[in-house]
Structure 1
Amino acid sequence: MAQCNEKCTCPKIECENHGKCCACINYHRECQTLVYCMRNIKDK
């Protein structure tokens, strides 16, 4: 699968979803957690 976000800000580069925004978002939806790149929005 091609990476859909080459500017991924997540520091967890070992994650299989790193740089794959759609897969990352779907994974975190299932876990009911926020993706790393949106955690700072939560606090605003």
Structure 2
Amino acid sequence: MANCNEQNCTCPNKQCERHGKCCACINYHRDSESKVFCMRDNKK
């Protein structure tokens, strides 16, 4: 599977096998009942 969203991925974990693969990332986090990085409230 290609990294279809590599340029827009906001996750800092660039070593993750799901980095830039939104569907894979969402499915992984849904299974672990956690939010994907781009959907967290990241106030700075």
Aligned to 2:5: 5
Superposition misfits of 4+ residues, deviation over 3 angstroms: none
| TM-score when normalising by structure 1 | 0.84
Aligned to 2:26: 25
Aligned to 2:15: 14
Give the aligned length: 41
Q: CA RMSD for the aligned pairs? A: 1.3
5+ residue gaps, structure 1: none
5+ residue gaps, structure 2: none
